[in-house]
Structure 1
């Protein structure tokens, strides 16, 4: 429908004809429905562009049906949440046919699909040049009017960037949930008061889609009860956050925020176990400590941790791009994410303005490092209060450890390497001379 609204003639196929009929019943101009793939192929102008919007496990099946029907230079765009290695496998498999396969991450949900999503295009540059004429008009627009779609890079770059986008989304939501938890439990605020705070925050540096809808979720009632209080405290997941955490080990790139966001959902789903454990585990909060955390402290801490989450995500994209020769321009990622997608935020204007391909980490940019340093004492207060009282805030805590580790010139890894050499003769490097060394630790 988005394509049709922008004047493009669209041929639609769904394996379930009833779904196609439902779409046609809306009587949208420029949309024609077909019962078979050969019928669709026959009406499309060459070179044909197919946009697949199917779940990842069915992509191979659809591609296998399309291959005999297509010709050289036709393009298949996978717009689903496929894992980037699968995208690259499909690209290599189809390349000898002359058909082009593109992995394009799409974010925005149902609203974005209709009114303008953010899109991350990955594959050959020439494919982008051939397809952008139909993608630029349908994309979301950022505040400056720029379309939120661009070429991310070669191979599986589009789906890789989308995967990290989703991991940042996981972290963002976990961070918001932990902030809500502190306000509700430590500050004893009710839902309306918490919603008021998020509404105020959405007028400042934290302005974003997720902050905006947090206020709406907290305000929504069913009768005289807030719906958020009726929702079971178990958060499900589809797997992209898990993929990011797993892939970060192989790159390697340090992304503890994403792992903690995934683990928080895993632990939340242990509801029966948690209920039983809560009957026997005593938290023993520390007494004698008078730490006062204000709403201003929480706002500062939330913004600081947000910077850390993006620092980890963008660094991971950059390291992966170098390892796999994607050629990703990080500032383009931030620009595409400014509108249409779930993590859209004013904050991304600053990221796109300051980040270059020479940047090692968001924390090495004066603007962001200063922003964190100005807020870190509030952040430490939030973590200290939660630790003392026994409130679990894994994202706040792990990101603080990341910040302190990344900014340390000496870490205790020397002892770890010594232990590895002791039991496994793994050798070690020294600070006083070049080379690899091994010590016979039990010889006197």
Structure 2
């Protein structure tokens, strides 16, 4: 049996705790317990003699009740009538079942309760102690308050109504950095939130409880999944913020028996889109909506407003759009940077390509910094200023902004960047983008090169050894002003090509998977909150708004920019290579663009080679399209 809440009806003696508790237990069809029955004999005798209990008297009583509350929950729930006058008493009662106790305070005037007590017979609590009870009673921000100046049936009806209204609007599973930030974001938007985190002794202890007690908006915190689910309004909406992969499947497996048709699960992690396609089908077949929502913006974005990319059924999105659009960043028109992306795994695919573009944009800025620092001889302060100048020339981006800031950070009189190990980490989404592009048969030059650059950076020890063996030196023969002007153009050129490659992959995926993606809307969602927000992204929104199916590199405004700046890009790459300075992204951008704009590529030789050694056949440019030929190339 799954855990169920225990309802604690509390208040001063004479407020009707036992009467209300018994009536509520009958209504809910769960057992009733009276806390007075759990007092040790010494406490009963003390109160019967007109003496008030002190905290030392109550301690074993409270501990015993706490253990029983935990067991009652496991047995299917219960109703407990208990005075619980102080907050500290209530915390001790729920200590073993945090979040699983529903508090019901019975409120009445002193005169009303005094009159009730005077009419009682054969009760061990004398009315003379009422004054001390009111003096001891402390307010409690949790639970519901019920006025007792009404009939019992009205009281029970009011309890049921208020308990239903008190249930949380949305639940969050997983309180890592992103989960906590998104939960805080929801709470700041005045949503009622329940949070769940697993309990692992020595590793993850009371995570949800601590989060709940440390937030002013008072979410409900659980480490019991069934109590967590029971705390949510129907239909239930649950956001998963757990590690991608097997952990998502395990949480879904635990949730399924607790959910009903019409409920909605949102996976807000970086799950692989094919896993999302599988999960969406599995849950849809059971009548439960599954939304794979890419979330970008890091810890700060999650807290203040991320970019959100939800995919799944449109009906499922309707179940959760209120929450997702409320917490999302807002674009320049005040609209949420969140919208329905498309069916099944499309949201997570779009997020994957977002991360791929991000990889290449980061590498682009990093390699330009590296060249300016170690081959041109600029200081971090000077490079920061160069980046800030570019930002004012309609080339601003979040990544350029933070890099300019990073370069100014010092420890004492030394730049902190010089203490950072040149060994880049990655979580896999860039590599996923590369694999997906290969499966779709579409180029991913800049993004794949960025992934490879990170992989090569990981070979730190080998690189250090190779530098000693080869002892490569460079010569600085660059005209400062002219080169910086060309470098600015090359930077923007590379960024445009990188974005074009990313959107081309989205276009191919949209076609192959029948997603019908709106690229202008995807770009709009990426204009605020996410890591790749930029002036360029704002421009892309407008361009695709005019023609959704047109390649980004074929818009006249882009053609004009790249035509004008191609020579600058080529000069930067060639001069840098002459200095023996690696520029992976700018080199990849150059090669991609020159091939993209070539009516005749070198692939005819490749086709002839394939036919020579493998009889793979080839097509001819002087014959009908689709007709294939094979030649015995050995015969001249």
**Do these two structures clear the TM 0.5 threshold for a shared fold by scoring above it?**
yes
- 1:59 alignment counterpart: 248
Contact 2:237 2:319 in 1 (8 A): no
* Alpha-carbon distance in structure 1 between the residues aligned to 2:422 and 2:278: 38
- 1:302 alignment counterpart: 491
Q: Is 1:329 aligned to residue 512 of structure 2?
A: no
Structure with bigger RCO (C-alpha 8 Å, 6+ apart): 1
Shift of 1:42: 1.4
Contact 1:362 1:369 in 2 (8 A): no
Compared with structure 1, are the counterparts of its residues 72 and 202 closer, same or farther at alpha carbon in structure 2 (3 Å cutoff)? same
- 2:40 alignment counterpart: none
- 2:634 alignment counterpart: 442
Q: Is 1:276 aligned to residue 446 of structure 2?
A: no
Shift of 1:129: 2.1
Shift of 1:27: 3.0
Q: Is 1:402 aligned to residue 592 of structure 2?
A: yes
C-alpha distance after superposition, 1:193-236 (max 9, x if no partner): 11111122222221111111001110000111100011111111
Contact 1:2 1:138 in 2 (8 A): yes
- 1:248 alignment counterpart: 437
Compared with structure 1, are the counterparts of its residues 33 and 286 closer, same or farther at alpha carbon in structure 2 (3 Å cutoff)? closer
Shift of 1:21: 2.3
- 2:533 alignment counterpart: 344
Shift of 1:265: 0.7
Shift of 1:95: 2.4
Q: Is 1:183 aligned to residue 366 of structure 2?
A: no
- 1:218 alignment counterpart: 407
Q: Is 1:126 aligned to residue 318 of structure 2?
A: no
- 1:370 alignment counterpart: 560
- 2:185 alignment counterpart: 2
- 2:195 alignment counterpart: 12
Q: Is 1:383 aligned to residue 566 of structure 2?
A: no
- 2:398 alignment counterpart: 209
* Alpha-carbon distance in structure 1 between the residues aligned to 2:325 and 2:418: 41
C-alpha distance after superposition, 1:143-168 (max 9, x if no partner): 23221111111110000000000011
Local SS of the residue matching 1:20: helix
Q: Which has the larger radius of gyration?
A: 2
Q: Is 1:411 aligned to residue 601 of structure 2?
A: yes
Contact 1:7 1:30 in 2 (8 A): no
Compared with structure 1, are the counterparts of its residues 131 and 71 closer, same or farther at alpha carbon in structure 2 (3 Å cutoff)? same
* Alpha-carbon distance in structure 1 between the residues aligned to 2:623 and 2:410: 67
* Alpha-carbon distance in structure 2 between the residues aligned to 1:262 and 1:269: 11
Contact 2:194 2:221 in 1 (8 A): yes
- 1:33 alignment counterpart: 221
* Alpha-carbon distance in structure 1 between the residues aligned to 2:335 and 2:375: 42
Supply the RMSD in Å over aligned alpha carbons. 1.6
Shift of 1:135: 1.4
Local SS of the residue matching 1:47: coil
Contact 2:240 2:267 in 1 (8 A): yes
C-alpha distance after superposition, 1:335-383 (max 9, x if no partner): 0010011111121111010115643421101111211222211111110
* Alpha-carbon distance in structure 2 between the residues aligned to 1:208 and 1:144: 19
Local SS of the residue matching 2:303: helix
C-alpha distance after superposition, 1:394-420 (max 9, x if no partner): 110011000001111110111110111
* Alpha-carbon distance in structure 2 between the residues aligned to 1:83 and 1:347: 27
Unaligned runs of 5+ in 2: 1-183, 200-204
* Alpha-carbon distance in structure 2 between the residues aligned to 1:27 and 1:392: 49
* Alpha-carbon distance in structure 1 between the residues aligned to 2:590 and 2:465: 31
Local SS of the residue matching 1:46: coil
* 1:70-89 correspondence runs (5 A): 70-89=259-278
Which residue, out of 204, 209, 218, partners 1:21?
209
* Alpha-carbon distance in structure 2 between the residues aligned to 1:374 and 1:310: 18
Unaligned runs of 5+ in 1: none
Shift of 1:187: 2.1
Shift of 1:291: 6.9
Which residue, out of 45, 51, 55, partners 2:233?
45
Q: Is 1:237 aligned to residue 420 of structure 2?
A: no
Q: Is 1:142 aligned to residue 331 of structure 2?
A: yes
- 1:108 alignment counterpart: 297
Local SS of the residue matching 2:407: helix
- 2:450 alignment counterpart: 261
Structure 1 range deviating more: 179-188 or 396-405: 179-188
TM-score normalised according to structure 1 size: 0.96
Contact 2:209 2:222 in 1 (8 A): no
Contact 1:291 1:381 in 2 (8 A): no
* Alpha-carbon distance in structure 2 between the residues aligned to 1:45 and 1:252: 45
The count of residues paired between Structure 1 and Structure 2 equals 443
Contact 1:315 1:360 in 2 (8 A): no
Q: Is 1:361 aligned to residue 551 of structure 2?
A: yes
* Alpha-carbon distance in structure 1 between the residues aligned to 2:566 and 2:560: 10
